Amino acid sequence: MGGTGPVHEALAELPLVDHHCHGVVTTDLDRAAFESLLTEGEPGPGRSAFDTPVGVAVRRDCAPLLGLPRHAPPDVYVARRAELGAREVDRRFLRAAGVAALCVDTGHTPVPLTTPAELAEAAGATAHEVVRLEAVAESVAASGVEADAYADAFRTAVEEAVRRPGVVAVKSVAAYRTGLDLDPARPTDALVTASARQWLTDGGRLCDPVLTRHLLWTAVDLGLPLQLHTGFGDGDLRLHRANPALLTDWLRLIRGTVPVLLLHCWPYQREAAHLSAVFDHVYLDVGLALHHVGPARARAVLAEALEVTPFRKLLYSSDAYGLAEFHALGALAYRRGLGELLQERVDTDDLSLPDALRIAAWTAGDNARRVYGLSPAETSAEPSADPTTTERPHSRKV
């Protein structure tokens, strides 16, 4: 775990609720395919995704779960992965994460990924679905709907999607498509129809700001928790337009409606923390950042997030996508980083031990269980000492 003390010990045993993640690839990967999933960037000549903080973390912290020494060379690592096969690799890393429940975004599948049920089986956990709203809107557009019927058709499609068994939330990637600096007001029916007419003529992804506003307000009407990507992402993102502080006026308008979960946030974790402190319905995680900065820097990111965030407002997520390694690395970085942060505060008498243990339990799973209405059973799991068995280990990655 990278530390000792009662807080570290408690975090090592706490099963996690991963409130935002994705499926993992279902096929074996060669080195090029593995590296393409290892980075949010693009491959370039003479560069390797293994020569990044997350690439080093994979070779250091994930190699032992494949039966390799720490810091195994990239070619050795990828060869061992192929030798074990995708299903066994996924099982080892997902069991190592020590999760009891996962909330899975099913709306981004440029490559074949595991379903929530398959991810749950690999993890030995329960899984729930998060409906991506842009994917629903684009399926409605592809159906041949007329512009003046788009708003009703979208609402009907979303309502049908969230009625699927296991759906607990919806999500928007407005930060990617339009940026978060949107007019906060609900758009009029006339504006929606005019924008729909233009989009349905032009085709492509949903990038219209009026239709994005309509999408967000429709989400509010649904009454389910709403996840919003903020901060760090791939090259499609304009980072300065993904600052969650840009949502302030809209968040003020929707007070008293639905929980809003700000995902990832880095490098805007302090802005997200402010929003969680001043708005009762705002929550946050620092999920995607943790496995990219690695366990050594996770403490610093979490420390900034927790400077003013109410302790009942921070959730755990991995945002793991494609590679099962990210499920394990996210859990390790969170547990180690939060453990070091809380244990130091206990050691210096800034926190009592009971307070530190409550904060650990809240962020590990209790906060997510409360927001998403999950059962208490989904914050408990049986530990195992061996990361290569089918049970969850809590001596590493957890």
Sheet containing 167-172: order of strands: 16-21, 99-105, 126-132, 167-172, 226-230, 260-264, 282-284
Predicted pLDDT at 6: 94
Which of the 8 DSSP states describes residue 362? I
| Residue keyed to tokens 């965030």 | 309
User: Running DSSP on this structure, what letter comes out for residue 258?
Assistant: -
For the chain, give every residue range classified as CATH 3.20.20.140.
6-28+86-393
Query: Mean pLDDT across the stretch 146-158?
Result: 98
What's the whole-number mean pLDDT along residues 367-373? 97
Q: What is the per-residue pLDDT for 247?
A: 98
Collapsed DSSP state (helix, strand, coil) of residue 98: coil
* Helical spans, DSSP H, in the chain: 6-13, 31-38, 53-57, 74-84, 86-97, 116-123, 133-142, 150-162, 174-177, 189-202, 209-222, 248-253, 269-278, 287-293, 295-305, 325-347, 353-361, 367-372
Question: How do residues 93-140 score in pLDDT, each as one tens digit?
Answer: 999 999 999 999 998 877 889 999 999 999 999 999 999 999 999 999
Q: pLDDT band at 43, cuts 50/70/90?
A: low
**pLDDT higher than threshold 60 for residue 388:** no
Q: What is the DSSP string of 160-226?
A: HHHTSTTEEEEEE-HHHHT-S----SPPPHHHHHHHHHHHHHH-SS---HHHHHHHHHHHHHHTS-E
Q: What is the dihedral of CA 265, 269, 274, 275, to 10 degrees?
A: 10
pLDDT given for residue 378 in this prediction: 63
Q: Are 50 and 74 in contact (CB under 8 A)?
A: yes
398: confidence class by pLDDT, cuts 50, 70, 90:
very low
Each residue's pLDDT tens digit, 220-232: 999 999 999 999 8
- Say whether pTM exceeds 0.85: yes
At residue 294, the 3 state secondary structure works out as: coil
Q: pLDDT value at position 296? A: 79
In sequence order, the β-bridge partners of residue 25 are 113
- Is a pLDDT exceeding 50 seen at residue 23? yes
State the Rg of the chain over Cα.
Answer: 21
Note the pLDDT tens digit of each residue in 262-314: 999 999 999 999 999 999 999 999 988 888 887 778 999 999 999 999 999 99
Is residue 369 within 8 Å of residue 378, measured between CB atoms? yes
- CATH annotation of 6-28+86-393: 3.20.20.140
Please determine, for residue 395, whether its predicted confidence score (pLDDT) is greater than 70. Answer: no
In this prediction, residue 384 has a pLDDT band, given cuts at 50, 70 and 90, of very low
Cβ-based neighbours of 398, under 8 Å, separated by 6 or more:
1, 11, 12, 13, 14, 16, 96, 97, 98, 331, 332, 335, 392
Is residue 391 over pLDDT 70?
no
Model confidence pLDDT, tens digit, residues 56-95: 999 999 999 999 999 999 999 999 999 999 999 999 999 9
- In the predicted model, is pLDDT for residue 390 greater than 70? no
